[in-house]
């Protein structure tokens, strides 16, 4: 059955010899083939898609814990006919926040032993349900090490009194409680349920900025079992800052001061802002800083020790430095075609006006003591010193470097997964639906080729020798990805940071979007994009973030007759008043795709004390006639490749081409 010609075996000798180290006997190879063939027929695992988290750590953690409502659905599936809605909500919240709920029950339960037993039984039933579509091997790997054997034994039961070994399982549960191990077992079960409920987690960009603690979100992602990340423009900004780009550092700080979010900088990443604060206070402390005041001021997110006025002074200081540094990048990179963003030399410093597009505008601020009108892009010695100190602080932040290293190892500009194309921003396009071309390094690049080039040069910025030419070029490109003209991550023709800060007239604040954001309503255009990435299935989709869906204006997250799904609906609180919703997530299970719209999260305390979940509305929009199996997925394709290799190894053993390593000579 597994016959290959001698020439085929000879051509693959090195591969087969390496494979034989893992499967040294014919029986071991055959057993693995049997196992892999069986896996191909299992239902595909659930994929969970989130986008534009923007540091909203509490809402993110809750969505992660409840798997966009899927856990509550499983609880209801098992217990809707035997328990009340309130009791089901209690079980679900226990799974989300086991430590807090255990403490609550420990303080109020009269018969704690009975609660332990009942809770363990219920959680075991839920765990059996969510593990039913996986192999025992995969479930075993998901179990916590210390209790893996016992939990595996308990999960092997069907939970019924008719089970011949019912008394055996009863004895295990009683012993767990007698030994005072009920609480850690409950935690272990809830963790296992959460690990098995979602097979793959996809983050479609923008973990950083605006919200209170993106560093906490990153810690959670690092601890997650199976995750990939498609970089957003806010992520690439922090990646550039960690790589030592002073321009990216200035941009990241400008964003932090805009929302008075110093906690991420100072507490999350341990970056000392005192040198900047001293410089800002001495240089701008007596100014009228009204146009640099933070959009919101919260003592919790500003570390409680920095006054709004000092935040505004720091904001002004870093903004002026930012405009100078951006000028440096634009001048040394003519291929970026961003000369229209050289603004400091367009200012009449005596009249406090600026000429843009043939029109003169009055500036809201006219005090720029560090700008030399004859050489406006030159940093003062004090600004140079501040930026060097900040660059050192960002480079030496162990936690930031660890987070950015994770983003590089688990991330990229796009991902093709199970016939879906995931990316954060856009595929730059022209109004006629053709792909926009960029001229970099003498090559005209567009679409997938453009993204591949930009990802390679971005990785060089982080991994190239410090201060090398390669690194310097890469850091400039990271800034370009953040806000460059029609950058795939930014998707606009210009960024109006200067105008929004210093010009009252709102007509200057408009940031025209790339044509992609009108073209993507067309099914043919989306099919064209998908083909560029080798995705041709009728069930292929583009999964997109970046531009929030304004539900309040009747916008739909489902576009191009279902070929494109936008899952940025306002996860970040800063957007929610405008969008009319609190974000979208996407679930792709063995039955198809389901988009979930979320209401605003009321907080972890409310969730724990009152079992309040996020109110979510589910939209099923792409179901398949047959249940999707592992054999239909990317993992299935890899398994078939493994089966092919093992079949060849089996033939090599059977024909005597290779000697079985696990057998001794007679």
For 101, counting Cβ atoms within 10 Å of its Cβ (0-12 exposed, 13-18 middle, 19+ buried), the class is buried
| Res 317 pLDDT > 80 | yes
Q: Could you tell me if residue 456 is inside a domain? A: yes
Specify the DSSP class assigned to residue 568: -
How wide is the angle at C-alpha 119 spanned by C-alphas 117 and 122, nearest 5°? 110
Q: What is the 3-state secondary structure (H, E, C) of 414-439?
A: EEEECCEEEECCCCCECCCCCECCEE
Which residue has better confidence, 576 or 304? 576
Q: Could you tell me if residue 336 is inside a domain? A: yes
> Do 259 and 168 have their domain in common?
no
| Res 1 pLDDT > 60 | no
Residues comprising the chain, all counted: 666
CA–CA gap between residue 63 and residue 197 (Å, rounded): 13
C-beta neighbour count of 369 within 10 angstroms: 9
> Do 308 and 187 have their domain in common?
no
* Strand-pair partners of 595: 586, 619
Q: Could you tell me if residue 299 is inside a domain? A: yes
Q: Which of 490, 512, 534 is the last residue of a domain?
A: 512
Q: Could you tell me if residue 412 is inside a domain? A: no
Count the alpha carbons within 13 Å of 258 in the hemisphere toward its beta carbon. 15
**Is 124 strand, coil or helix?**
helix
> Do 127 and 191 have their domain in common?
yes
Q: Tokens standing for 504? A: 């009252």
> Do 252 and 385 have their domain in common?
yes
CA–CA gap between residue 407 and residue 239 (Å, rounded): 8
Q: Could you tell me if residue 259 is inside a domain? A: yes
> Do 447 and 583 have their domain in common?
no
Q: Could you tell me if residue 373 is inside a domain? A: yes
What pLDDT is recorded for position 141?
A: 84
> Do 449 and 499 have their domain in common?
yes
CA–CA gap between residue 256 and residue 214 (Å, rounded): 11
pLDDT digits (tens, 9 = 90+) for 563-594: 999 998 667 777 677 766 777 889 999 999 99
> Do 103 and 184 have their domain in common?
yes
Q: Could you tell me if residue 291 is inside a domain? A: yes
> Do 505 and 612 have their domain in common?
no
| Res 396 pLDDT > 80 | yes
Crossing angle of the two packed helices 308-332 and 381-396, in degrees rounded to 10: 90
Which residue has better confidence, 342 or 299? 342
Q: Could you tell me if residue 421 is inside a domain? A: no
Which residue has better confidence, 310 or 307? 310
pLDDT band of residue 349 (cuts 50, 70, 90) is: very high
> Do 272 and 319 have their domain in common?
yes
Give this prediction's pTM.
Answer: 0.92
Full residue range of the structural domain in which residue 109 is found: 65-198+545-618
| From 37-51, 223-237, 518-532, 618-632, the region with the lowest mean pLDDT | 618-632
Residue located via tokens 């560093």: 215
What pLDDT is recorded for position 300?
A: 46
Residue located via tokens 């002026």: 320
Q: Are strands 200-203 and 227-230 parallel, antiparallel or unpaired?
A: parallel
Average pLDDT over residues 294-322: 77
> Do 228 and 124 have their domain in common?
no
Q: Which of 445, 442, 416, 440 is nearest to 428 (CA)?
A: 445
> Do 360 and 493 have their domain in common?
yes
- Cα-Cα-Cα-Cα torsion 457, 463, 468, 472, nearest 10 degrees, comes to 40
- What does the mean pLDDT of the chain come to? 91
| Res 624 pLDDT > 80 | no
| Res 297 pLDDT > 60 | no
pLDDT digits (tens, 9 = 90+) for 84-122: 999 999 999 999 999 999 999 988 877 899 999 999 999
| Res 654 pLDDT > 70 | yes
> Do 323 and 237 have their domain in common?
yes
pLDDT digits (tens, 9 = 90+) for 445-464: 999 999 999 999 999 888 88
Domain count, the chain: 3
Q: Which of 541, 414, 588 is nearest to 47 (CA)?
A: 588
């Amino acid at each position: 059955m597994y016959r290959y010609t001698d020439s085929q075996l000879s051509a693959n000798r090195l591969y087969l010899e390496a494979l034989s180290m893992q499967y040294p006997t014919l029986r071991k190879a055959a057993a693995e083939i049997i196992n892999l063939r069986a896996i191909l027929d299992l239902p595909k695992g659930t994929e969970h898609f989130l986008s534009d988290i923007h540091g909203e750590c509490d809402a993110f953690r809750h969505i992660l814990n409840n798997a966009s409502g899927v856990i509550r659905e499983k609880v209801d599936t098992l217990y809707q006919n035997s328990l009340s809605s309130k009791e089901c909500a209690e079980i679900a919240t226990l799974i989300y926040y086991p430590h807090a709920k255990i403490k609550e029950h420990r303080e109020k339960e009269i018969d704690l032993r009975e609660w332990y037993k009942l809770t363990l039984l219920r959680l075991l039933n839920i765990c059996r349900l969510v593990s039913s579509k996986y192999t025992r091997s995969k479930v075993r790997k998901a179990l916590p090490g210390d209790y893996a054997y016992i939990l595996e034994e308990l999960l092997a039961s069907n939970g019924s009194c008719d089970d011949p070994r019912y008394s055996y399982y009863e004895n295990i549960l009683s012993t767990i409680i007698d030994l005072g191990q009920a609480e850690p077992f409950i935690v272990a079960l809830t963790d296992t349920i959460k690990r098995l409920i979602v097979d793959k987690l996809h983050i479609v960009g923008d973990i950083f900025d605006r919200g209170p603690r993106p560093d906490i979100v990153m810690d959670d992602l690092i601890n997650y079992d199976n995750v990939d990340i498609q970089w957003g423009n806010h992520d690439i900004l922090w990646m550039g800052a960690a790589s030592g780009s002073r321009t990216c550092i200035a941009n990241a700080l400008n964003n932090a001061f805009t929302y008075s979010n110093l906690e991420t900088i100072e507490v999350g990443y341990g970056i000392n802002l005192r040198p900047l604060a001293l410089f800002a206070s001495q240089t701008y402390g007596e100014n009228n800083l009204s146009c640099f005041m933070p959009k919101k001021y919260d003592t919790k997110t500003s570390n409680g020790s920095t006054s709004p006025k000092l935040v505004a002074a720091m904001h002004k200081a870093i903004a002026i430095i930012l405009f100078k540094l951006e000028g440096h990048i634009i001048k040394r990179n003519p291929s970026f075609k961003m000369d229209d963003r050289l603004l400091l030399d367009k200012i009449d410093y005596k009249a406090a006006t600026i000429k843009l597009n043939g029109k003169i505008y009055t500036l809201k601020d006219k005090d720029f003591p560090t700008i030399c009108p004859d050489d406006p892009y030159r940093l003062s010695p004090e600004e140079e010193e501040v930026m060097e100190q900040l660059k050192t602080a960002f480079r030496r932040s162990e936690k930031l470097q660890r987070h950015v290293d994770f983003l590089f190892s688990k991330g990229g500009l796009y991902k093709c997964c199970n016939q879906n194309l995931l990316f954060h921003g856009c595929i730059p396009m022209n109004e006629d639906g053709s792909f926009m071309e960029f001229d970099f390094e003498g090559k005209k690049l567009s679409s997938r080729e453009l993204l591949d080039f930009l990802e390679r040069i971005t990785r060089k910025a982080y991994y190239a020798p410090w201060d090398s030419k390669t690194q310097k070029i890469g850091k400039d490109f990271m800034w370009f990805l953040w806000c460059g003209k029609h950058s795939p991550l930014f998707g606009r023709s210009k960024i109006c940071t200067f105008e929004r800060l210093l010009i009252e007239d709102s007509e200057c604040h408009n940031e025209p979007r790339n044509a992609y954001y009108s073209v993507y309503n067309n099914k043919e255009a989306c099919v064209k994009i998908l083909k560029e990435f080798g995705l041709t299935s009728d069930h292929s989709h583009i999964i997109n973030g970046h531009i929030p869906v304004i539900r309040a204006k009747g916008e739909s997250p489902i576009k191009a007759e279902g070929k494109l799904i936008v899952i940025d609906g306002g996860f970040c609180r800063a957007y929610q008043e405008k969008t009319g919703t609190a974000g979208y997530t996407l679930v792709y299970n063995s039955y198809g795709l389901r988009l979930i719209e979320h209401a605003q999260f009321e907080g972890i305390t409310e969730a724990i004390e009152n079992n309040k979940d996020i109110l979510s509305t589910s939209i099923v929009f792409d179901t398949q006639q047959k249940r999707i199996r592992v054999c239909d997925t990317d993992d299935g394709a890899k398994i078939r490749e493994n089966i092919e290799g093992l079949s060849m190894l089996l033939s090599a053993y059977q024909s005597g081409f290779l000697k079985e390593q696990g057998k001794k000579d007679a």
